[in-house]
Structure 1
Amino acid sequence: MTATSLEHTTVPADTGEVTLLIARQVEPGFEDAFEKWAQGILDTAAAFPGHLGYGFFRPSAPGAPWFLVHRFRDAAACRTWQESPERQAWFDHCEGHRHSEIARRELSGMETWFAKPGSTRPAPPRWKMVVGSTLAVYPISLLGNVFLLPHLEAVPLLLNTALVSALFSVLMTYVAMPTVSRILRGWLRG
């Protein structure tokens, strides 16, 4: 049997969302069997409390790896799935699928902003992520304080804070972090 069970790895101890990215190599001719097996394990994981969704990516070219992605509410939910008898049962019955794990990454917190999609390369050091996120937060905070907050003075504090938080989150996720990550790509990876 060439299929290997996923090794237990330590999940980061923070309470933020955890993304598990697994690359698997499938021997030619066994793609259909692997796809059925992978879909079964992903569907089983999706039923676990704290599982936020999954992705299944076929190879970009013949012989390239397949990627399975799980998202969990937190490290505890990820650990519950990884240590579950249901997950182990899938690996106990994977004969004939001829696949092996070739890479695994667990991303949590800011690492997901700095991870290159489809890559199993490690995230940059945390101090570089702090510098990058500071460069993203600073202009948003400055512009918000100058142009937005003066217009929200009459709004109750709870609503004011909710509006600012929502706007800043959208700008960080869709504008600032992608831009900073792209501009600093060489430095972050160096």
Structure 2
Amino acid sequence: MSDQKPAGVTRIARRRALPGREAEYEAEIRAMFQSMARQPGFRGADLLPPDAPGGEYQVIARFECESALQGWDQSPERQRHHAALRKVSEGEPAYRVLSGLEAWFAPAVVPAGMQPPRSRMSVVTWLGIFPVVSLYLGVLGPYLASWPFLLRTALITGLVVATMTWVVMPRLGRLFRPWLQRP
């Protein structure tokens, strides 16, 4: 049994509100977020409005792990909220689930106007990569000095990617979210 913390899971749901019922749709989504907040393993959620009237809303929900998301999916609260949403929306939502490294790139599914500037994302990524690479090179470098260059590089980059995906970027994303999303 591994003591490693499970990777976070992000689910994106896309759906249109019925014309003239947008305010009701948004209110129900916000009420659903309050119910989600009581669910074990819930990390947060965002509602992204459509780029243009009549477009799709996006609901982004983050959970600690797949089993936490499944717990929400099977809850009576979710069933109640989805029944209410069916009355103010078109059809069923289209879902996309992201986990691990794929979740780094989740902003690609949100409207372009809501994505953080690439320059800010680059700064936050560098703030994560620089100390992680330095740590691994400082700690493991002396032990790996006799290894062939490509094998040494493969090990170090593999450790960096794993650490960035499951440890560093989720924390940096939360820490820097206000700066990343500021106009």
In structure 2, the gaps of 5 or more residues are 112-127, 141-159, 173-183
The equivalent position to 1:101 in structure 2, one of 92, 112, 132, is 92
Identity of aligned residues (%): 27
Cα offsets for 1:124-169 (capped at 9, x unmatched): xxxxxxxxxxxx979x63x5566x559xxxxxxxxxxxxxx9xx74
From the two aligned structures, give the one with the greater helix fraction: 2
Aligned length: 128
Structure 1: how far apart are the matches of 2:19 and 2:26?
12
Instruction: Using structure 2 for the length normalisation, give the TM-score.
Output: 0.57
TM-score, length-scaled by structure 1? 0.55
* Matching residue's letter, 2:32: I
Pairing 1:38–2:29 present:
yes
Q: What does 1:44-63 align with in structure 2 at a 5 Å threshold?
A: 44-63=35-54
| Partner residue of 1:87 out of 54, 60, 78 | 78
* 1:94 Cα deviation after fit: 3.8
TM-superposed deviation, 1:59 = 1.1
1:118 aligned to which of 106, 109, 112: 109
* RMSD of aligned Cα (Å): 3.6
Q: Is the 8 A contact 2:10 2:99 kept in 1?
A: yes
Structure 1 unmatched ranges of 5 or more = 1-13, 121-135, 151-164, 175-190
1:25–1:101 CA contact under 8 A, matched in 2: no
Alpha-carbon offset, residue 100 of structure 1? 3.0
| CA gap 1:70/1:95 in 2 versus in 1, 3 angstroms | closer
Within 1, Cα distance between the matches of 2:30 and 2:77?
Answer: 14
Structure 1 residue 73 and structure 2 residue 30: aligned? no
* Letter of the 1:80 counterpart: G
